Chain A
């Protein structure tokens, strides 16, 4: 069990009693008050269902989960009931295999099949289809209906989701997820009778950041993964590995699927405490940079054969040897890679890759984490009063936003409970609850997608937010807060929040780092350190492994500024999977020119990699094992879905290989990841012993390929008739093959699942077979390991703090100009994903109408931002009053690549030339995205025919 987290068996009925129910004559203990379907599935019965969903409860629409309820043991005849709509009560007699109920279940499928097309062979869901599974389970095999099928036309729903309405079985899950659960408002059920249509009001991009979940929520092939469909493989032909989403600091668990050397898709991998059943679209579709032609596949700057030996590398690099070696770590590189780099160059020469300012902020976060254990996503969902501080969660940590949305329903659950309505009665709870919501205060400077469920969501100036936080911390002077300019009614808001906090049982503050605003974080820290014990605090750093990196920072660790300030003429600088986008272009050039040698280890090209003397190709998360540390400090391992293609190596491996040339030779004898981990655990106090998570399980290999992985012997037949040997994976508990019984014993089961499957359950729904109960933890889950908590204040940083300003924020004429946070345009890697570039906003500046006058560009459509160094940037001007007065938000794709505009000296109405150029640029950009998309696809398809044998040979 997870010791670091109190085991609060959470969501429903914690105190529910176990009662005895007789199922087909066998007594079984079930939880009283659960719905019978959920309770029976928890006991691993095979009972088909469609409309019920573990996270969304029951509505009783599909009538698939019918069983017989008998009045007593003797009674032969009983009545047919819907398990999902029936609460478990003591002494029930239930017939699961009772003939009439079984026949009825078959009839339900037969009825659905009156309209469902016979297109399984061309359907993207085939082989992973809940409807197929249930059809087999109910034994429906003979078609009795002789009439015609209804036909629908489909909609264009954007670049991520396909729509094929003819396959719909009208279970209403899509609508319930999209609209009721995720709060989307561009989707609904239309029509009626056997013509119910699920879609948008008209064709167009689905607006929700969670639209990808439709793919899994839909039990058939109406909504399918569009990029996956474009380069498709059956689920049974996918080689899969358990992984962790690299999109943000939440660390949602995912399963990655690969075929013929390219990664095809990502699906949710259930994790009780974190993502549950859902991930955001960034997580599902944000991997495709690993397939791109921007991938670095060979070494540059040195002569190196792909099958090089370590000493050959040393020889090739010999000429770059220099007096000093510095390493720059990164928030997106794995915990192991960062630690390896640090140990290679030594603490004194390790730079975090973060700015001073980021260091200060992280230090605060760590200090709060040591005082207050951050809540899991699941715990966030249980909160009854949430205060979000200056962070657009939907754009920076979307999964958390989804949890916050659910948390606002807690008041409605309570109200329903008073009326005797169980929380799984989804529609009834919504009816009884009406607009009744738990408190959610959004202290933000710009509207966000949670506004519709918020108690308060008016845009506030960041300074006002700080004032409020200070007011909250100040119990002695309850109402003493002077109104800020621009922000009226602050005092009454403060009072409202205070009252809400007094009544709340599980209040929660969530702050984030997308603005890296030190004063705000300081104010939260103040509050946290004197808060009552039941107040919870969650901070969301901005990248997948920020907390892992942060825990490696010690008093010697340098910031980027400190490193740059050094004279590097005699130095080799090794940059680990980092594009240094917080630097300006000029600074990047300067770094490259100044340092004697610049070595970049990365998997995708960046400006920095172009400037580097040596580029070493690293393996992205899909091709390497490693771990990352999420916002809670939870260490989560991820596993390669395919071996890297030599000379690509995991970044940590490059660090080992470089040690002899640029390091301190401490890592000399280490060649494998488990050796590295063992070394680090022994030599670095911040690196945990992960053997609990991993090493024990090495004995039990588990297959990455499902049992039906087909055509393996034919895969390379166009190149060789000899079936190449499967690559060996000596590192992880997984094999690159169908071999590996795994799973049967306790430890095998404790392994994360490479893919979801259980006998009779080919769809993602099979996860229930591996849960302690529906919606509970996974069986025999390995113990959780957390780091980054309990750290003392890092005094070295405290001293440097005084005079630094936040380099990420611009100001002009009293206007605070912040970077716009956007899920699909938050980091450099999103720039390699065509679909995301289509979904990203156009380059723009958002200002409040009242501030427009300040810009000397009244009623302009476009403005140009000019800086002292004469760089300029033309963007669309959008005035809207859902941005706080005194703040503005800037978006430009370049900002993800480097600090494209370091300060603003003027903002003027854009000249018609500038506008023309900007628009020209934009349409060229669009064209190039589309080209990129089709080029990438055809390249991958071509590669399917000519897979480099080395992929499957000895890969590492």
Chain B
């Protein structure tokens, strides 16, 4: 039995499936399959064929990432060294709440998926790095883990295959930067979560200096289905070149904010109007962030844009997490950007100069503009800061992420900025 909503078909937000029920609906079948019939390389090959790309924001091909884990000859003294799989469940990008849905609604699916990924890269220890605020998810995951251990799907000698995997839940102490995979590794090591320099990539020197793969929750959750139904099936799920489905979400002042698992490559219009019901009464669409807080604004003219990795990039933004945040015409765009930049300034780890001081500077300038005390100089500074914090100039992608909504707002909502300065007040005040 196949489905067009593999990720969410068994979601039950109120009471997720317990282990036996989950097994009844076909859960953990993929684990038996790989343990009995497939080598690690086989698993990697299927995933490669499926075209699965990372759903954590960057869209990097998953199998390719796995292939960077060094494969030592048996004679190499390092061949017996530990390797780690980490599930990035630190979802903290504003406007993004898809992983929460999967974690709370069907925790066993993630465990099943992590067994597959661990097996594929040869890891015997894996961690779920869960953001600290997701208490319900933590409870449900822990229960699912306990069940999986009891049923012999985790621990020594899983299903008598000789394969051993220990999977632990780790809850974070709260920090957006922990979502960045190398910062996450530092956090897991009990250190300050400053990102690490790359290279070396974590696939080579990650957790405790050992080869480590970090994958997003949604990315991983695709694995059981790819194993069960094959690469071709997975590819045909989508409307475009990106394989599979995607969990899209919409927030902001729309009629029906929420989450939907849909084929990769639907249009913005379909998502915004068919699923989310369009804007709330009396409001018009002014713009939107297509994939979370760290993506560039798009506007009304992009309604027919296809929500795929390449398509959104071509339009000057990023698919990111697929979480659309809608700006209506009664909310002040300057205030919105200010809110976003405050977030990034607040969550900057403080390691590199452009981000540490640049985001705070942007907040200062935006605050002044929003309060009607801004000047042309502030606007100039904002333009400069966009360049200053851009990719390659910072130590990690947080600051460039902050630049995306800022630079696009300066482009699309230029008049609003000018008005704030000219009028000496926020033209929207009273509304937002």
Contacts and interface: CB of A to CB of B under 8 A. Distances in A.
B328 interface: no
B356 interface: yes
Interface in B337-362: 345-354, 356-361
Given A61-B352, A63-B352, A146 B209 contact: no
A193 B349 contact: yes
B159 interface: no
Nearest to B375: A146
Contacts of A114: 357, 360-361
Given A63-B394, A145-B361, A146-B368, A431 B196 contact: yes
Interface in B352-404: 352-354, 356-361, 364-365, 368, 377-378, 380-381, 384, 387-388, 392-395
B357 A144 contact: no
Contacts of A196: 350, 356
A191 B393 contact: no
A674 interface: no
Interface string B195-209: 011011000110011
Interface string A49-68: 00000000011111110100
Contact of B388 (A111, A145, A421, A432): A111
A433 interface: yes
A534 interface: no
Given A63-B394, A63-B395, A107-B384, A115 B357 contact: yes
Contacts of A421: 199-200, 205
B192 interface: yes
A62 B353 contact: yes
Contacts of B359: 193
Given A146-B364, A146-B378, A193-B347, A428 B353 contact: no
Please classify how large the interface on chain B is, using the bins under 10, 10 to 19, 20 to 34, 35 or more: 35 or more
Contacts of B345: 193-194
Given A104-B393, A145-B381, A146-B368, A432 B358 contact: no
Of the listed residues B78, B358, B387, B393, the one surrounded by the most CB atoms of chain A closer than 10 A to its CB is B393
Interface in A4-63: 58-63
B381 A62 contact: no
B197 A59 contact: yes
A791 interface: no
Nearest to A145: B361
Nearest to A116: B357
A171 B418 CA distance: 36
Contacts of A64: 353
A192 interface: yes
Contacts of B378: 146
A194 B348 contact: yes
Interface residues of A, number: 45
Given A104-B393, A114-B360, A194 B388 contact: no
Contacts of B364: 145-148
Contacts of A59: 197
A191 B192 CA distance: 9
B192 A189 contact: yes
Interface stretch (A78-86, A121-129, A206-214, A776-784): A78-86
B19 to A, nearest CB: 37
Contact of A425 (B197, B209, B377, B384): B197
Contacts of B352: 60-63
A147 B354 CA distance: 16
B357 A111 contact: yes
A196 B395 CA distance: 16
A60 B197 contact: yes
A111 B350 CA distance: 13
Contact of A107 (B197, B199, B388): B388
A192 B392 contact: no
Interface in B310-353: 345-353
Contacts of A170: 350, 353, 356
Interface in A404-441: 418-421, 425, 427-428, 431-434
Given A63-B395, A419-B205, A428-B205, A194 B197 contact: no
A108 interface: yes
A569 interface: no
Contact of A194 (B175, B360, B365): B360
Contacts of B358: 111
Contacts of A434: 208-209
Contacts of A62: 352-353
A529 B242 CA distance: 73
A302 interface: no
A148 B365 CA distance: 11
A195 interface: yes
Given A104-B388, A114-B360, A194-B357, A419 B350 contact: no
A130 to B, nearest CB: 15
A307 to B, nearest CB: 59
B350 A195 contact: yes
Contacts of B348: 192-194
Contact of B395 (A60, A169, A425): A60
A172 B364 CA distance: 25
Nearest to B378: A146
Given A145-B364, A147-B361, A428-B200, A433 B209 contact: yes
Nearest to A434: B209
A107 B385 CA distance: 9
Interface in B395-427: 395
* List of 9 A-B pairs having minimum Cβ-Cβ separation, nearest first: A147-B364, A111-B357, A196-B350, A192-B350, A432-B205, A193-B348, A434-B209, A432-B209, A107-B388
Given A108-B354, A146-B377, 20 more contacts: A62-B353, A66-B393, A79-B392, A85-B197, A107-B387, A107-B388, A111-B357, A111-B361, A114-B360, A145-B361, A147-B365, A169-B353, A170-B350, A191-B350, A193-B350, A194-B357, A421-B199, A421-B205, A431-B205, A432-B209
13 contacts: A64-B353, A80-B393, A111-B353, A111-B356, A144-B384, A146-B368, A189-B192, A195-B350, A428-B199, A431-B200, A431-B209, A433-B209, A434-B208
